[in-house]
Amino acid sequence: MNLKPSFFDRRANTGRIPHDDFQAVENLAMELLKFLPRASQRPIVFVCIGTDRSTGDSLGPLVGSFLEEKDVPSFHVYGTLDEPIHAVNLGERLKEIAVKHQDPYIIGIDACLGRMKNVGVIQVGNGPVKPGAGVNKELPAVGDIHITGIVNVSGFMEFFVLQNTRLNLVMKMAKTIANGIYQASILHSKGRLQELIQEEQKKTN
């Protein structure tokens, strides 16, 4: 859980998408594709951070579980309800990912708190997410880029707020994020296939 979304709010290159917008899935996919490396052999890895022990902090593992059900073969997904990635095991899991994938392009996914008017907004932006801000732990930053969802209001009794965040909202946001990533995976795969075809055509010419 990142309790300091204002850092991202100031970034000009952060896309902000209301989860209930009728084009939220398509907009999220397009925002994500802006950042993903196209002509690259780098594996694309999603690290979904959070725990189902806190309703507000379950956004990440819910996204991971929805993606696991959808099967996104062009992307690698870590952090689910069955195997969550949280403050206790984050460092260890990142080491495992570094061993398994050579020079991965990582997208960190996490919940955060923010202003009342921004609750329900999904943010896609450059730079890592910084988990552990709410538990006073020095944890490694995660991601070349980030996807964060503002699940509730910050500023007062954050842990109590997280525990009393509506599951309905978190579920809806997680489904929107997962669907957006799934759509991006299809478009990204098609783009990569087209690049390979063009490369082969150049060789034969």
pLDDT digits (tens, 9 = 90+) for 59-96: 999 999 999 999 888 899 999 999 999 988 999 999 99
**Percent of the chain topping pLDDT 90:** 61
Residue 128, both tokens? 């890592």
Token pair 């098609």: residue: 190
**What span, in angstroms and rounded, lies between the C-alpha atoms of 32 and 122?**
12
CB 94 within 8 A of CB 139: no
**Percent of the chain topping pLDDT 70:** 81
pLDDT average, residue stretch 43-66: 95
Q: What pLDDT is recorded for position 100?
A: 96
Token pair 């690259």: residue: 40
Residue 67 sits in which domain range?
6-204
Is the pLDDT score of 128 beyond 80? yes
Domain-embedded: residue 65: yes
Using pLDDT thresholds of 50, 70 and 90, give the confidence band for residue 201: low
Q: What pLDDT is recorded for position 12?
A: 44
Is the pLDDT score of 14 beyond 70? no
For residues 161 and 183, the model is more confident at 183
Token pair 């509730």: residue: 152
Per 3-state DSSP, the chain is made up of helix, strand and coil in percentages (nearest 5) of 45, 20, 35
Q: What's the CA angle centered on 58, arms 121 and 107, to 5 degrees?
A: 65
Domain-embedded: residue 51: yes
Domain-embedded: residue 1: no
Amino acid letter, 200 = E
Q: What pLDDT is recorded for position 195?
A: 56
pTM of the model as a whole = 0.86
Using pLDDT thresholds of 50, 70 and 90, give the confidence band for residue 7: very low
Q: What is the CATH number of the domain that holds 22?
A: 3.40.50
Q: What pLDDT is recorded for position 11?
A: 43
For residues 188 and 64, the model is more confident at 64
Using pLDDT thresholds of 50, 70 and 90, give the confidence band for residue 153: confident
| Tally of structural domains, the chain | 1
Token pair 């990533």: residue: 181
Q: Estimate the crossing angle of helix 59-70 against helix 167-204, to 10 degrees.
A: 50
Domain-embedded: residue 160: yes
